[in-house]
């Protein structure tokens, strides 16, 4: 699923700048540029995976130390390595001209070094350096990682479910409240209190799939929930279906609907639905697995690459229009930019990030005794189909391979 999310985000960003010439092209461009909503899939997936990790580790030795150490090893090397390259090295190589990406970097740097760049939305006139426009999502994630382990540790599963639903309501109330301030335009999209609902729905789902009484209900309702949420989302964005994260429609019903769709998709790819058909084949395909594995590097690097390409004069407008259309140019540019991003992320993973990930073995996250007992109880449930299905749900592996767990 992470593979789908990163492809959506990259396509959405790479198609910006293309100009439609008729209604058909306008519809195509809308679909492509709406790919930014992959960010919401990332949020829900992160809430689901991180909460699953924490639930399985609850009660284990060094719960906090191991979680935070593993997060640091996964997230920090690329993030801070990139900041060093962007803020300290690149300006020495590329002159910071007024229109360049480093023109505003001097006073915005502290926000990025401290994972608070999303709060730049509260600074009047603040603009992120070009190429770092997407780093607000990494700030939201890191702020979530900072507080969520303590919440999971201190609450029962029943209380955690209620808290997650309360956070969904609180985020909606916060976004509505922002509409009466000067910060609603960007704040409702990037501030952590405004976006915690997507993470909370993922966390709620992580608890629900680990309860025998609720996992089968989730599998029954997931298809209808996905379709219903999609229909309402499309209706809310009529007439042009262009989903701007700053709009009232998205900041009221849009974000919760995207979270419901994302949660439903997780259920459809992890439960009994996973055993059959197109959904399983798609998400277990090699391309999706490949993009999923390198998604973090792709996410960090894809927009800086766009800025670099612009600096050398390469973009959608570098290609000639065919029949007066930007469509062939947009496809060509997207393929080239995606290939470049993939090469950079692949190299970063194998030459740099992977060396830090080897240290994760020093900070294991064993499953809790309670989780093992629950699995044993299900094994004893007379070998029934229901027992096996419930056991399958409780065995959802919250830590994906290659040390990729939970990051956007």
- Give the residue extent of every domain in the chain: 36-289+371-403
Q: Where are the alpha helices (DSSP H) in 58-125?
A: 63-83, 90-93, 105-113
Average pLDDT of the residues of the chain: 85
The length of the chain is 408
For residue 56, the number of C-alpha atoms closer than 13 Å in the C-beta half-sphere is 23
pLDDT tens track for 145-186: 999 999 999 999 999 999 999 999 999 999 999 988 888 788
Concatenated DSSP letters of 277-293: HHHHHHHTSHHHHHHHH
| Residue 378: burial class (beta carbons within 10 Å; 0-12, 13-18, 19+) | buried
Q: What is the pLDDT of residue 274?
A: 55
pLDDT tens track for 59-83: 888 999 999 999 999 999 999 999 9
Report whether 13 contacts 137 (CB < 8 A): no
Report whether 41 contacts 4 (CB < 8 A): yes
pLDDT tens track for 272-318: 555 566 777 788 889 999 999 999 999 999 999 998 998 889 999 88
| pLDDT classification of 384: cutoffs 50, 70, 90 | very low
| Residue 138: burial class (beta carbons within 10 Å; 0-12, 13-18, 19+) | buried
The whole model's pTM is what? Answer: 0.86
Q: Does residue 97 surpass a pLDDT of 60?
A: no
Contacts of residue 198, defined as CB under 8 A and 6 or more positions apart, other chains included, come to 40, 43, 44, 47, 255, 258, 259, 262
Q: What is the pLDDT of residue 40?
A: 95
| C-alpha closest to that of 280 among 265, 261, 290, 298 | 265
Better pLDDT: 23 or 305: 305
């Amino acid at each position: 699923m992470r593979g789908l999310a990163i492809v959506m985000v990259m396509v959405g960003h790479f198609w910006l700048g293309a100009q439609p010439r008729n209604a058909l092209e306008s519809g195509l461009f809308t679909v492509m540029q709406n790919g930014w909503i992959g960010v919401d899939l990332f949020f829900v997936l992160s809430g689901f995976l991180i909460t699953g990790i924490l639930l399985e580790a609850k009660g284990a030795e060094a719960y906090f130390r191991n979680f935070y150490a593993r997060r640091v090893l996964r997230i920090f090397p690329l993030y801070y390595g990139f900041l060093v390259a962007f803020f300290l090295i690149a300006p020495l190589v590329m002159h910071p001209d007024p229109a360049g990406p480093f023109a505003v970097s001097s006073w915005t740097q502290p926000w990025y070094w401290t994972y608070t760049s999303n709060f730049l939305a509260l600074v009047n006139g603040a603009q992120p350096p070009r190429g770092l426009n997407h780093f607000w999502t990494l700030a939201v994630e890191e702020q979530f990682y900072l507080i969520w382990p303590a919440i999971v540790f201190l609450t029962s599963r029943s209380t955690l479910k209620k808290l997650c639903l309360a956070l969904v309501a609180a985020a909606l109330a916060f976004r509505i409240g922002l509409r009466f301030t000067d910060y609603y335009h960007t704040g409702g999209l990037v501030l952590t209190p405004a976006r915690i609902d997507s993470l909370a729905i993922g966390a709620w789902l992580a608890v629900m799939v680990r309860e025998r009484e609720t996992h089968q209900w989730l599998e029954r309702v997931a298809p209808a929930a996905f379709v219903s949420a999609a229909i309402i989302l499309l209706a809310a964005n009529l007439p042009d279906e262009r989903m701007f994260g700053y709009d009232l429609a998205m900041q009221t019903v849009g974000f919760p609907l995207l979270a419901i769709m994302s949660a439903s998709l997780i259920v459809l790819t992890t439960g009994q639905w996973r055993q059959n058909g197109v959904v399983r084949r798609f998400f277990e395909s090699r391309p999706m697995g490949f993009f999923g594995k390198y998604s973090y590097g792709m996410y960090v690097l894809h927009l800086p690459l766009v800025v670099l390409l612009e600096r050398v004069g390469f973009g959608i407008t570098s290609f000639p229009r065919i029949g007066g259309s930007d469509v062939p140019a947009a496809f060509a540019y997207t393929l080239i930019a995606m290939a470049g991003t993939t090469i950079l992320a692949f190299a970063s993973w194998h030459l740099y990030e992977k060396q830090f990930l080897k240290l994760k073995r020093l900070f294991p996250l064993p499953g809790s005794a309670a989780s093992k007992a629950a699995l044993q109880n299900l094994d004893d449930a007379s070998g029934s189909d229901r027992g096996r299905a419930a056991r399958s749900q409780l065995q959802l592996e919250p830590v994906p391979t290659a040390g990729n767990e939970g990051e956007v």
